[in-house]
């Protein structure tokens, strides 16, 4: 019960009582890894609050610890200092509430496309009947356009299709927060573009998965998808350099946006921020 | 019309080409094997000449082998049985010992692969027991089991389980971190993790271990049966030596070698099939 009480105190001490409780509250978080005799500091003093319904991107150079932070939110890596509260409770272990899409797809190569999604659904959606679990698996695979490939093995699919399976698997467990670790980094530019749109489609079309946190290297991708962009300073001992609000209305049309002044300003700002 | 005329000879031509192609393929596969066998036979022949008749020639052995194989399942009492009966007796013990061995080694290897603590605890035990000669275990088995053939099986169990144990441990240890993360994020139960992630991921390594274990079991059986007597190829070799029939000894060696080769091929084929299946073939 102790952590729960602690969480409530934190929420009550919020400055604006009218504001909804944040979905994720990161304060004073740091990460050290053991190295040789001592420890090496990867991240320090991370302060970040994410509201329900936001699309957040983490951007920064390689080795700045943005993926480490995502893994800590997932519960796959422990934090060294500070507190990290999800829905008011400390994050202690991985959970399907924070489903993750990995950079290298992480599909089980010996299972078919269908089975890859079904095993996750079957494991998590325990309140559904067997028929409902199957129907849900079929539905998400149809939504990502893979209904004709359900019996194939991941090795028989292109990179883009594999990542669609991984995204379908994550959405199928109805996470409250979706975590994406450079999901389109290994894909060609054309495939990346269409998957970005599909991701926005899925996100806006699914009332249950409101919040997305994505790690990316790609400035355009970050602007196109995000509500806020979290810029990391260079590692080691990286921290948040600045948080940029993307004030572009949704639904966003990529073609008209890319010629707009706001887009160009954001782009220039991010480029300068990442180069200094 | 010109086109139609053109079609007919082309078909015949392609049928002929395909037959030639297959003959060529068969020849190319068999050619090195035949040459290899001829080299072995010539070396053997030379050795037979040098030994001045102590070692039987390939031809004399071949004729004895032919005799043995012409009536493999005759049974004239405890000391005179066909080579087929001896082979089956040996195979039965090998599969029993190997089966018990891998039934111990695979689950234990899965535990060791999952727990660094357990690995540290058991590594010295394994390293001490692993290099012990198979025959050193035989008296122990005899003392406990009071039965010579069972003691041979015991020696096979305890010497053949190590490669499967070590390979299973390594296979489980090397499961990609991403796949473990997936199992955690989607909250896979222990059973779902074992059946859908751990076993398929470690399967190639486990199969390699089983193959090496089978090789050891087949080596141990001959030595064990020489000590145990009664039935089996090992007993047959020793019995033929006592009867001073080296043609029979050489024949038995050939049968042991070829059977070992066949057992190994089975694992190789299963491994290839499984790899193809994992990648989406059938």
Give the list of residues 6+ apart from residue B88 with CB closer than 8 angstroms, or none.
Answer: none
Of B187, B188, B278, which has the smallest distance from its Cβ to A109's Cβ?
A: B278
Q: Is the confidence at residue B2, as pLDDT, over 50?
A: no
Mean per-residue pLDDT, A59-68: 90
A6, A19, A26, A45, B204 from A13: Cα distances, Å:
11, 12, 15, 20, 56
**Cβ within 8 Å of B, A 34-63:** none
pLDDT at residue B15, rounded to an integer = 72
**Residue B182 and residue A108: Cβ atoms within 8 Å?**
yes
Q: State residue B65's pLDDT score.
A: 93
Structure tokens given for B11: 């078909």
B185 in A contact zone (CB under 8 Å) = yes
Q: Does A21 contact chain B (CB < 8 Å)?
A: no
Tell me what ipTM this predicted complex has. 0.87
pLDDT computed for residue A13 by the predictor? 39
Segment B148-193, tens digit of pLDDT? 999 999 999 999 999 999 999 999 999 999 999 999 999 999 999 9
Give the model confidence (pLDDT) of A128-174 as tens digits: 999 999 999 999 999 999 999 999 999 999 999 999 999 999 999 99
Listing DSSP states for B76-140 in one string gives -STT-B-HHHHHHHHHHHHHHHHHHHHHHHHHHHHHHHH-HHHHHHHHHHHHHHTTS-HHHHHHH
CB of A194 within 8 Å of a chain B CB? The answer is no
Please give the pLDDT value at position A172. Answer: 94
Residue A16 — very low, low, confident or very high, per pLDDT cuts 50/70/90? very low
Q: Which of A106, A108, A155 sits opposite B279 (nearest CB)?
A: A155
Q: What is the DSSP letter of A234?
A: P
- Name the phi and psi angles at B83, rounded to 5: -65, -30
pLDDT bracket for residue B13 (50, 70, 90): low
Smallest CA–CA distance from B197 into chain A, residue:
A108
**Rounded Cα gap, residues A126 and A205, in angstroms:** 23
**Is the CB of B196 less than 8 angstroms away from the CB of A156?**
no
Interface residue of B185, B189, B195 to substitute, partner A, most A CBs within 10 Å: B185
Q: How many CB atoms neighbour CB B251 within 10 A?
A: 26
% pLDDT > 70, chain B:
94
What pLDDT does A9 receive? Answer: 35
pLDDT in tens, B30-65: 888 889 999 999 999 999 999 888 889 999 999 999
- Residue-level pLDDT at A31: 94
CA distances from A212 to A156, A200, B233 (A): 29, 10, 68
Tens-place pLDDT, residues B183-235 = 999 999 999 999 999 999 999 999 999 999 999 999 999 999 999 988 999 99
A252 in contact with chain B, both atoms CB, cutoff 8 A: no
Query: Which positions in chain A touch B197 (Cβ < 8 Å)?
Result: 108
**DSSP 8-state symbol, A53:** T
Strands A24-35 and A81-86: antiparallel
Interface test with B, best of A77, A106, A122 (most B CBs within 10 A): A106
B182 close contact with A: CB closer than 8 A: yes
CB B178 within 8 A of CB A108: no
Asked if pLDDT for residue A226 goes beyond 90, the answer is yes
pLDDT class for B29, splitting at 50, 70, 90?
confident
Closest CA to B138 of B126, B125, B153: B153
Name the residue facing A96 among B179, B185, B189 (closest C-beta): B185
CB B98 within 8 A of CB B160: yes
- Minimal Cβ distance to A108: which of B179, B185, B279: B179
Residue A3 pLDDT class (50, 70, 90 cuts): very low
Q: What is the predicted pLDDT for the residue at B96?
A: 97
| pLDDT value of residue A76 | 95
pTM of the model: 0.82
Residues facing residue A35 across a β-bridge: A38
| Predicted confidence (pLDDT) at residue A15 exceeds the cutoff of 60 | no
**What is the rounded average pLDDT for all residues in chain A?**
89
Helix or strand or coil: residue A109?
coil
Which pLDDT band holds residue B281 (cuts at 50, 70, 90)?
low
Burial class (CB in 10 A: 0-12, 13-18, 19+), B190: exposed
Q: Does B181 touch chain A (CB under 8 A)?
A: yes
Question: What pLDDT score was predicted for residue A4?
Answer: 35
Q: Which two tokens stand for residue B189?
A: 């139960």
């Amino acid at each position: 019960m102790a952590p729960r009480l602690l969480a409530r105190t934190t929420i009550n001490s919020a400055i604006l009582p009218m504001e909804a409780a944040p979905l994720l509250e990161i304060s004073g978080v740091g990460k050290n890894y053991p190295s040789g005799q001592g420890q090496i500091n990867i991240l320090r003093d991370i302060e970040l609050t994410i509201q329900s319904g936001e699309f957040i991107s983490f951007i920064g150079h390689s080795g700045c610890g943005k993926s480490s932070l995502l893994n800590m939110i997932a519960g796959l890596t422990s934090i060294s200092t500070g507190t990290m509260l999800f829905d008011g409770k400390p994050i202690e272990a991985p959970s399907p509430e924070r489903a993750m899409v990995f950079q290298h797809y992480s599909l089980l190569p010996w299972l078919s496309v269908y089975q890859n999604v079904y095993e996750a659904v079957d494991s998590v959606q325990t309140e559904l009947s067997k028929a409902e679990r199957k129907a849900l698996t079929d539905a998400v695979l149809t939504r990502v356009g893979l209904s004709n490939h359900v019996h194939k093995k991941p090795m028989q699919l292109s990179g883009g299709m594999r990542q669609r399976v991984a995204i379908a698997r994550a959405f199928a467990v109805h996470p409250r927060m979706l975590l994406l670790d450079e999901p389109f980094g290994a894909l060609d530019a054309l495939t990346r573009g269409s998957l970005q749109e599909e991701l926005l489609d899925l996100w806006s079309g699914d009332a249950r998965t409101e919040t997305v946190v994505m790690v990316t290297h790609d400035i355009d991708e970050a602007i196109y998808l995000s509500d806020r962009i979290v810029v990391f300073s260079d590692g080691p001992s990286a921290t948040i350099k600045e948080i940029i609000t993307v004030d572009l209305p949704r639904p966003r049309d990529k073609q008209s946006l890319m010629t707009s002044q706001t887009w160009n300003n954001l782009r220039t700002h991010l480029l300068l921020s990442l180069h200094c | 019309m010109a086109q139609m005329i053109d079609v007919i000879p082309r078909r015949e031509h392609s049928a002929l080409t395909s037959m030639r192609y297959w003959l060529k393929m068969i020849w190319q596969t068999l050619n090195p094997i035949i040459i290899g066998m001829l080299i072995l036979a010539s070396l053997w022949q030379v050795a037979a000449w040098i030994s001045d008749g102590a070692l039987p020639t390939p031809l004399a052995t071949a004729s004895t082998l032919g005799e043995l194989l012409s009536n493999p399942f005759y049974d004239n009492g405890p000391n005179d049985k066909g080579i087929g009966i001896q082979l089956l007796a040996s195979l039965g013990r090998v599969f029993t010992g190997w089966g018990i061995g891998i039934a111990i080694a695979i689950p234990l290897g899965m535990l060791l692969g999952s727990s660094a603590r357990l690995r540290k605890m058991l590594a010295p035990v394994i390293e001490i027991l692993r290099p012990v000669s198979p025959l050193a275990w035989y008296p122990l088995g005899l003392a406990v089991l009071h039965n010579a053939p069972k003691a041979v099986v015991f020696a096979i169990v305890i010497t053949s389980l190590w490669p499967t144990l070590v390979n299973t441990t390594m296979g489980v240890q090397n499961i990609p971190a991403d796949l473990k993360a997936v199992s955690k994020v989607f909250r896979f139960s222990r059973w779902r993790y074992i059946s859908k992630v751990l076993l398929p991921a470690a399967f190639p390594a486990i199969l390699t271990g089983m193959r090496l274990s089978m090789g050891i079991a087949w080596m141990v059986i001959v030595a064990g049966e020489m000590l145990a007597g009664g039935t089996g190829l090992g007993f047959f070799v020793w019995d033929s030596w006592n009867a001073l029939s080296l043609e029979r000894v050489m024949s038995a060696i050939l049968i042991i070698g070829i059977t070992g080769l066949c057992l190994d091929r089975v694992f190789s084929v299963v491994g290839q099939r499984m790899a193809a299946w994992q990648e989406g073939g059938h």
